[in-house]
Amino acid sequence: MKPVKLGILGCGIAAKDLHWPALKQMKEKFEIVTVCNHTEEKAKEFAQMVGNVPYLTDYKQILANPEIEAVSILLPIHLNHQVTKEALEAGKHVIVEKPIAANMKEAEDMLSFEKNTKQ
């Protein structure tokens, strides 16, 4: 089976210290094809770290890319709800950094995203 083409949204500490070490050990399952961070310097640094992949500063460009099959959302917690919803609406598989949401209402709402985005 081919590795899942993965976009990384957020290039901070969680991406560098937690997710990248784990993804390296699963390189037969995931291929990081693009990374994104609103701070260009962080995006560029992480892109180089993971194999000189392309980087962006607008996550919506990753969501619009049909070649990217899944996204790993490693953003500040208060952004998880909206970005997860947008990613699912764009047809992406989603991995969400924990905690899943900023509050219980958003977390419960996120549980309904799958059934609301199935086609």
The 10s digit of each residue's pLDDT in 52-71 is 999 999 999 999 999 999 99
Q: Do the beta carbons of residue 71 and residue 87 sit within 8 Å? A: yes
Residues 80-90 have pLDDT tens digits of 999 999 999 99
Residue among 57, 74, 58, 3 nearest 33 (CA): 3
Coil, strand or helix at 40 = helix
Q: Where are the beta strands (DSSP E) in the chain?
A: 4-9, 30-36, 55-56, 70-73, 93-96
Confidence (pLDDT) at 117: 63
Output the pLDDT for position 97. 76
Q: What CATH superfamily is the domain 4-74+92-97?
A: NAD(P)-binding Rossmann-like Domain (3.40.50.720)
Question: Average model confidence (pLDDT) for the chain?
Answer: 93
For residue 3, the cross-strand partners are none
Domain boundary assignment for the chain: 4-74+92-97
pLDDT at position 116: 65
pLDDT above 90 for 111: no
